[in-house]
């Protein structure tokens, strides 16, 4: 084969390999996105709105304040949504006081517990028939004890006792180790059944943060298990050295 023939053969082989690699990468990306998208199952005709609780501060501010744990949870969930193929331009952020009536009709991601986020409280009330059927909820006792209820089980946040023990030992509670429980719901939006709603709510802020980490990291597996169906789960998180170091699924249910 002459030099020109060798060059043409090499170029053809290179292009074929390149196309093959590109096709493989596209296929790999599609497979990575597909189960993540299935876990969320957001309707692409509607934008997505992240709703977080407003953090109250003593002095006037220019922009709404958000707790660090809620901010990280929102960021993790946004990354998950973008990984599923969503454009960042179709994702909004609103504090609970700024959510407009028409925005309730969109795909909603609501973070934090009902005693911190009024929209979480309203969403759980709107979902009451479904939650009562499966004995799902969260409650705060008069003594401050908080727990997640799920299928007859009660998951009490151990953080308060852990904080007291750390203080007695002369250690800084904010560094942990601390553990918390969180409830995650992925359901039809009760204000518009054509859209979806995800509620990520820890009993404490670290629970909300950890649940978002768990949902982000396990999205592909959850998508394969649920195949686009709605689900609920209880997640236990461990916080240590100012970071979420472990998450564990303690209960899981695909809504029939």
Can you read off the two tokens belonging to residue 174? 């904010």
- Position 2 pLDDT exceeds 60: no
- Position 190 pLDDT exceeds 70: yes
Mean pLDDT to the nearest integer, 45-54: 94
Can you read off the two tokens belonging to residue 39? 């876990």
Closest CA to 206 of 232, 235, 231, 249: 235
Continuous segment of H or E residues that includes residue 49: strand 48-52
Can you read off the two tokens belonging to residue 114? 């009902």
Judged on CB neighbours under 10 Å (0-12, 13-18, 19+), 197 is buried
Q: Provide the domain count of the chain.
A: 1
What is the CATH number for 162? 3.30.379.10
Q: How far apart are CA 201 and CA 207, in angstroms?
A: 7
Higher pLDDT, 99 or 27: 99
- CA angle in degrees (0–180, nearest 5) for 247-248-254: 120
CB 201 within 8 A of CB 120: yes
- 256: helix, coil or strand? coil
Percent with pLDDT over 90 in the chain: 65
The pLDDT of residue 23:
55
Write phi, then psi, for 194 (nearest 5 degrees).
-80, -10
Name which of 30-34, 144-148, 186-190, 232-236 the model is least confident about: 30-34
Closest CA to 50 of 92, 98, 83, 87: 92
Higher pLDDT, 214 or 25: 214
The pLDDT of residue 134:
96
- Position 29 pLDDT exceeds 70: no
pLDDT digits (tens, 9 = 90+) for 230-249: 999 999 999 999 999 999 99
- Position 8 pLDDT exceeds 50: no
- Position 119 pLDDT exceeds 50: yes
Higher pLDDT, 73 or 23: 73
Note down the domain range covering 166.
Answer: 3-254
Q: How far apart are CA 202 and CA 157, in angstroms?
A: 9
DSSP readout, 61-81? -SS----HHHHHHHHHHHHHH
pLDDT digits (tens, 9 = 90+) for 141-178: 887 789 999 999 999 999 989 999 999 999 888 888 99
């Amino acid at each position: 084969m002459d030099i020109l023939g060798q060059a043409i053969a090499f170029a053809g082989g290179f292009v074929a390999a390149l196309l093959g690699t590109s096709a493989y990468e596209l296929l790999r990306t599609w497979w990575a996105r597909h189960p993540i998208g299935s876990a969320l199952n957001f309707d692409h005709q509607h934008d997505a709105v992240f709703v977080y609780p407003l953090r109250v501060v003593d002095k006037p501010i220019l922009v709404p304040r958000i707790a660090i744990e809620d901010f990280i949870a929102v960021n993790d969930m946004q990354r998950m949504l973008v990984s599923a193929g969503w454009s960042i331009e179709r994702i909004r952020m609103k504090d609970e006081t700024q959510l407009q009536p028409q925005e309730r009709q969109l795909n909603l991601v609501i973070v934090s517990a009902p005693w911190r986020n009024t929209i979480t409280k309203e969403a759980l009330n709107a979902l009451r028939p479904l939650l009562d059927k499966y004995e799902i909820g969260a409650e705060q006792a008069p003594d401050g004890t908080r727990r997640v209820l799920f299928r007859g089980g009660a998951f009490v946040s151990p953080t308060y006792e852990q904080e007291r023990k750390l203080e007695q030992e002369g250690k800084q509670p904010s560094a942990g180790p601390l553990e918390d429980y969180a409830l995650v719901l992925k359901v039809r939006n009760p204000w518009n059944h054509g859209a979806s709603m995800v509620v990520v709510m820890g009993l404490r802020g670290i629970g909300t943060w950890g649940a978002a980490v768990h949902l982000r990291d396990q999205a592909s597996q959850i998508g394969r298990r649920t195949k686009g169906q709605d689900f609920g789960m209880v997640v236990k998180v461990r916080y240590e050295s100012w970071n979420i170091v472990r998450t564990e699924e303690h209960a899981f249910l695909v809504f029939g």
